[in-house]
Amino acid sequence: MKLITYNVNGIRAAMSKDFVQWLKSVNPDIVCLQEIKATPDQVNVNEFIDLGYHLYWYPAQKKGYSGVAIFTKIKPKNVVYGCGIDKYDFEGRVLRIDLDNLSVISVYHPSGSSGEERQAFKMQWLDDFYEYINTLKKSIPNLIISGDYNICHKAIDIHNPKSNANTSGFLPEEREWMEKFITNDFIDTFRFFNPEPHQYTWWSYRAGARGKNLGWRIDYHLATQSLQNKLSRSVILTEAKHSDHCPVLLEINP
């Protein structure tokens, strides 16, 4: 089974850059999207249906903002929209599908880069999301949480850790949360297979950062420890250029 997580930074913009043809060639079974910034009626959904996908959308209430989606070739037994906390569900940040032997979440963590108010919102979200997942794991032991976490976990995950030490996305308290979250029964599946540095999933549009590979690794597939023996491979697909992020692939043998 092939899973992809991809912050497309606007699905309509991505589709204008041959996203559909790329998706056809990679042919994942499940695609977790973030920052879709659109509702289904604003997109030619038939292009995805023709590829064999069932489409589940959870856009933000605010037009052109945030939102997550899951496209899956495996029809789920159950679909859950949101996490049950209004201020986060208003922004379309969590979507879950339940399959026979595992559940997959597409998540878009808030960014705190726009100022103190949003950073405080992000830190509250992190506490609430931690508790939400802790509760969820009691009934769903096999869980994959795929998405844009807007946090670099370790110094290896960012091109210049010293100069970014006080930057949202690499703050000590954010990295501590990431460590706590992962060590609470999760596997960072990319690092499980790839210990090497200089592997990123997001680059600023400024100063030719992508061409110089001056990036951040902020997109993850986190899988519960119960799935460790099912993990097969994980790679960052840097050649896909429909967004300022790139997709991350996870292969498992369910």
Q: How far apart are CA 53 and CA 29, in angstroms?
A: 8
What phi and psi values does residue 186 have, to the nearest 5 degrees?
-120, 160
Reply yes or no on whether 219 is catalytic. Answer: no
For residues 161 and 155, is the Cβ–Cβ distance under 8 A?
A: yes
Q: Show the CA angle centred on residue 145, arms to residues 144 and 146, nearest 5°.
A: 110
As to burial, measured by CB atoms within 10 angstroms (0-12 exposed, 13-18 middle, 19+ buried), residue 127 is: exposed
Q: How far apart are CA 233 and CA 2, in angstroms?
A: 9
3-state helix, strand, coil in the chain (%, to 5): 30, 25, 45
As to burial, measured by CB atoms within 10 angstroms (0-12 exposed, 13-18 middle, 19+ buried), residue 170 is: buried
Helices (H), the chain: 11-15, 19-26, 46-49, 86-89, 116-139, 172-183, 189-193
The radius of gyration of the chain from alpha carbons, rounded to an integer in Å, stands at: 17
The type of residue at 52 is G
Q: Show the CA angle centred on residue 15, arms to residues 75 and 92, nearest 5°.
A: 60
Name the active-site residue from 148, 157, 188, 219. 148
Active site members:
148
